[in-house]
Amino acid sequence: MAQYLIANGASPTTAAQVAVTTGTSLKTLLQVEPSATAIARIVEWGISFDGSAAATPIKVELLEQDVAATVTAHVAAGIVKFDAAAQLGGDPTTNLFQVGTANTGYTSTAENSPTVSRMFDVQFIAPTNQYIKQFPLGSQPALQNSKFTKIRVTAGAAVNAYCYMIIEI
């Protein structure tokens, strides 16, 4: 099993990771679709905000849905080979993760209309705070094929966010 870190943005090179605004309506910050030939589990996920003053907490969801949001497509360089097993693997976009504007990506421009959801974690998080969850062994959510695992937020006031998932395949 190999682990991959997928964040809500392109992989940083000569500059820092670009933060994404939450906006003030429901927004998918990160979406992951595993390949139909892979069994994927979430090992860890996290989110942090850059708010400078305490305010109404942001609704944050980690969930799986039957309909994709429209996102900026990830590329192989944005799917970080996190451990030694992943380092030995090839391009993760050829057989582990589906990439595209309706697959694995970040910063949604349209939420579309899902009808089926599986909630993995839900939190109210202050806009000046962060949250990290590591799932215990044996209790890691298994991602279904042809489904979309998302980190979604609903904020009362827009702030910037970083978020990520560590996926084991």
List, as one string, the DSSP characters of 18-30.
Answer: PPEE--SS-EEEE
Task: Please report the pLDDT score of residue 39 as a whole number.
Answer: 86
> Which of 8-17, 19-28, 42-51, 119-128 has the least mean pLDDT?
8-17
> CA 28 to CA 143: how far, in whole Å?
17
CA nearest to 54, candidates 138, 150, 124, 101: 124
List, as one string, the DSSP characters of 103-131.
Answer: SBEEEEEE------EEEEEEEEE-TT-EE
Task: Please report the pLDDT score of residue 15 as a whole number.
Answer: 83
Task: Please report the pLDDT score of residue 119 as a whole number.
Answer: 97
User: How confident is residue 16, by pLDDT bands cut at 50, 70 and 90?
Assistant: confident
Report how far apart, in Å, the C-alpha atoms of 48 and of each of 45, 72, 118, 130, 153 are. 11, 20, 23, 4, 11
